[in-house]
A and B are shown apart, each in its own frame.
Chain A
Amino acid sequence: MTCVQSEVLQTVVDEFANLSSETTNVFILNANGETMASDRVTTEEQAKAVFVSFADLSHQLDIIGGLESLSIQGATSQIQIATVENLYLAMISSREADAKIIDSLAHVLVPTIVKLLNQQPTKEEMEIPQELEITEEEPIEESVLPEIEPDEESALPEVETVEESVLPEEEPAEEEQEMNNNFEQESSSESLFPEPPLNQLMVEKIKGILVHADTVRVDSEVISKWNELYGKKDLLVNIQTLEGKETTCKFKPLKDARSNAKGIIQIPEKILQILQVTKGQLVIVSPTMETLGD
């Protein structure tokens, strides 16, 4: 595990205090018992004692398929230790701590982050993170969405619309023709962008710390349709809630490979707050070419 990854884990551990104020100790150890991240309360001796006992116990548990997690409930406090890939996460909290939050932290948040960290590219590949961030959208779209050939483009409805509007009466008066041309010039930019289709999608929250706060992930089938309609333009997505809240942001195809992931839009926390929606609610999305405000 690199220094960067260790720093990320430390950030996560630091955030635990905000997420669960009843948690008194949090630390993450690697397979050798070395502390990868820790709060400022836990001593090395405490962490080591936990590691030794946990590792010892894990050797005895072949009969139940090894040791994935351990939860000890005391009279006033509780300890949770979870195996997360090649790491051990230990949390000590009071019994008053919200079990759901503790469970989410130990079994969802940290495992997700660790998985993402393990998927990180090597040090050499990580030397251009800024560039990757800026151009992230395009390569993903290219890989997911089919190329549209120029010939195919001519068959698109938007072009047909333009052609229809370009066909005026056979011999119009010069003035009339000029007016028509002006009108066509004005309206052609609009007709190039046909009436945007509306899609109703179900909201899911994007979790994780490596999430772009200004980008949502949309069902790739929906994006394919938009691309068929508009080609590969710099589209944004307009999201509207049933309560009328609205925002425009960048989008990427949904990465989720689940078969039931159709009709889903994954939204980061910041945009969820703007829209005042939560997981499971429906929103109406449509493509737009509006520019984003600062």
Chain B
Amino acid sequence: MKQKNILAQTEPEVPEGAAVISVGDEDSGFSNLAASLAEIRKLKGVFGYILRNKKSAIVDLEEQEKISSLALLSTHIRESSFEIERPFNLSDIESVLVEGKNAKVLCMSLGENMLDVFMEKTASDASITKRILL
């Protein structure tokens, strides 16, 4: 079931049905990413994404009941990735891809903006990454 709860409407192109939280003016980076993710969301195998920065967040997920679990999951992934890379001094983490048996998650940090794309294992994370970085 699609998330229908729209908390606040903002200027950037936001897909119908996505949850949006905003407490300030949007920056252009966030708006551009929102637009890209809205397109990526239409790709086969992509079942949702979370885009957030300090001021705003957009959540577009197929299953509403999983919003909190998936948001928590992406936080765990980021924290653990930081712990894993620290002994090897990887410097800035650009992206993290986590694969489970049923699905995979792509987490990226672009400046202040953090995004997580949830997809089926068959979806092409490489092409999605490329599209986001365009």
Interface residues of A in 73-100 (CB under 8 A from B): 73-79, 81, 92
Contact A72 B87 (CB under 8 A): no
Q: Given A70-B84, A74-B91, A75-B92, is A64 in contact with B100 using a C-beta cutoff of 8 Å? A: yes
Residues of B contacting A71 in the complex (Cβ-Cβ under 8 angstroms): 96-98
Distance to closest chain B CB from A135 (angstroms) = 40
Contact A45 B87 (CB under 8 A): yes
Q: Given A61-B73, A72-B93, A74-B94, is A79 in contact with B84 using a C-beta cutoff of 8 Å? A: yes
Interface residue count for B (Cβ, 8 Å)? Answer: 32
Q: Given A72-B96, A81-B84, is A64 in contact with B90 using a C-beta cutoff of 8 Å? A: no
**Number of residue pairs A-B, CB distance < 8 angstroms:** 101
Distance to closest chain A CB from B81 (angstroms) = 5
A53 to B98, CA, bound (A): 13
Residues of B contacting A64 in the complex (Cβ-Cβ under 8 angstroms): 73, 98-105, 118
Interface code B40-67, partner A: CB below 8 Å = 1, 0 otherwise?
0000000000000000000000000010
Q: Which of B66, B90, B96, B99 has the most CB of A within 10 A?
A: B99
Interface residues of B in 3-44 (CB under 8 A from A): none
Contact B90 A77 (CB under 8 A): yes
Q: Given A63-B73, A67-B98, is A79 in contact with B91 using a C-beta cutoff of 8 Å? A: no
Interface residues of B in 82-134 (CB under 8 A from A): 83-88, 90-105, 118
Contact B93 A70 (CB under 8 A): no
A57 within 8 A of B: yes
Interface secondary structure of A, over-half rule: mixed
Contact A60 B73 (CB under 8 A): yes
A78 to B85, CA, bound (A): 9
A46 within 8 A of B: yes
Contact A66 B100 (CB under 8 A): yes
Contact B98 A65 (CB under 8 A): no
Distance to closest chain A CB from B118 (angstroms) = 8
Distance to closest chain B CB from A153 (angstroms) = 52
Given contacts A64-B73, A66-B101, A79-B90, 10 further A-B contacts (CB under 8 A): A46-B87, A49-B87, A50-B84, A54-B80, A61-B76, A64-B105, A65-B100, A66-B100, A67-B100, A68-B99
Residues of chain B having any CB pair with chain A under 8 Å: 66, 69-70, 72-73, 76-77, 80-81, 83-88, 90-105, 118
Q: List 28 A-B contacts (CB under 8 A).
A: A25-B88, A46-B88, A50-B87, A52-B83, A54-B80, A56-B80, A57-B76, A57-B80, A61-B73, A63-B66, A63-B69, A64-B98, A64-B100, A65-B100, A65-B102, A66-B100, A66-B101, A67-B98, A68-B101, A70-B81, A70-B98, A73-B95, A73-B96, A74-B91, A74-B94, A75-B91, A77-B88, A77-B90
